[in-house]
Amino acid sequence: MTWLVTGGAGYIGAHVVRSFQEAGVPVVVLDDLSSGFDGFVPEGVVIVRGSILDGELVERTLREHAVVGVVHVAGYKYAGVSVQRPLHTYEQNVTGTAVLLAAMERAGVDKIVFSSSAAVFGTPDTDLVVEGTPKSPESPYGESKLIGEWLLRDQGVATGLQHTSLRYFNVVGSGDPGVYDASPHNLFPLVFDALLAGRTPASTATTTRRRTAPACATTSTSPTWRARTSRRRVASRPASPSSRPTTSAAATASPCARS
């Protein structure tokens, strides 16, 4: 009953790994440590160091650990930087997801929870964002996450893949003192860095296409996110092959001020 967490040495992935442990579910981590830290992974959890772009490694990991499902957190997550590095973003988030799905199909693994993003909505002209709100991503990052959802949907139709996509943004907090948000681009680290330096935090958002991350997004606490991800989704009923990607209500139904 082992689950694979891609990107499990990162801030969010490490929380997911801990939640699996607390639930008594065996877990293995695949991470290239490009932005994660092996020290974030709890003692006793196997870390396979490598990229999701390495299909042979992914398939071998799935088979050797008898993996039954995947939580796919690995990816390039910086919306603003993705404007300057679109090809890198698509390679990591789109090609990487396709390679992972192909390896899963070869290994007979048919369950996946996908770390999508509220960036798929862009800046909606509405006061409340729900799952059916039109998608209009404003950066290569947001587009890559939406394409990832399409890949899961189409693979579900073709092979019966059971899949869930979680759209969230600005995940904050820590369920463990040894895990923290080390990103140089995320909102809350920037805010607290400014406060510690005696500066007034500043936040600017516009609707200019391909220049900023979406002004509208969901803020979640990391322990809440990981609990909903690994405990409830593992026990959820199988989705039908023709089902569309679904998202956790907590991740999508968030108040959103008009810009």
pLDDT in tens, 132-171: 899 999 999 999 999 999 999 999 999 999 999 999 876 7
Task: For 2-172+211-255, give the CATH class.
Answer: alpha beta
**Per-residue pLDDT at 239 exceeds 60:** no
Q: What are phi and psi of 95, to 5 degrees?
A: -60, -45
Q: For the full predicted model, state whether its pTM sits above 0.85.
A: no
Domain boundaries of the chain, sorted by first residue: 2-172+211-255
**Cβ atoms of 119 and 250 closer than 8 Å:** no
- Choice among 11, 76, 78, 141 that is catalytic: 141
User: What is the pLDDT at residue 186?
Assistant: 67
**Per-residue pLDDT at 196 exceeds 70:** yes
State the pLDDT confidence band at 121, using cuts at 50, 70 and 90.
very high
**Per-residue pLDDT at 13 exceeds 60:** yes
> In angstroms, rounded to a whole number, what is the distance separating the alpha carbons of residues 121 and 132?
10
Mean pLDDT of the residues in the chain: 80
State the pLDDT confidence band at 20, using cuts at 50, 70 and 90.
very high
User: What is the pLDDT at residue 180?
Assistant: 66
Please confirm, yes or no, whether 141 is among the known catalytic residues: yes
User: What is the pLDDT at residue 48?
Assistant: 97
**Per-residue pLDDT at 240 exceeds 50:** no
CB atoms within 10 A of CB 10: 30
**Cβ atoms of 105 and 120 closer than 8 Å:** no
∠ CA 129-111-167, nearest 5°, is 15
∠ CA 86-13-134, nearest 5°, is 50
User: What is the pLDDT at residue 154?
Assistant: 98
**Per-residue pLDDT at 256 exceeds 80:** no
User: What is the pLDDT at residue 78?
Assistant: 76
Q: pLDDT, tens digit, for every residue of 92-101?
A: 999 999 999 9
Percentage above 70 pLDDT, the chain = 75
User: What is the pLDDT at residue 35?
Assistant: 85
User: What is the pLDDT at residue 232?
Assistant: 47
> In angstroms, rounded to a whole number, what is the distance separating the alpha carbons of residues 219 and 257?
13
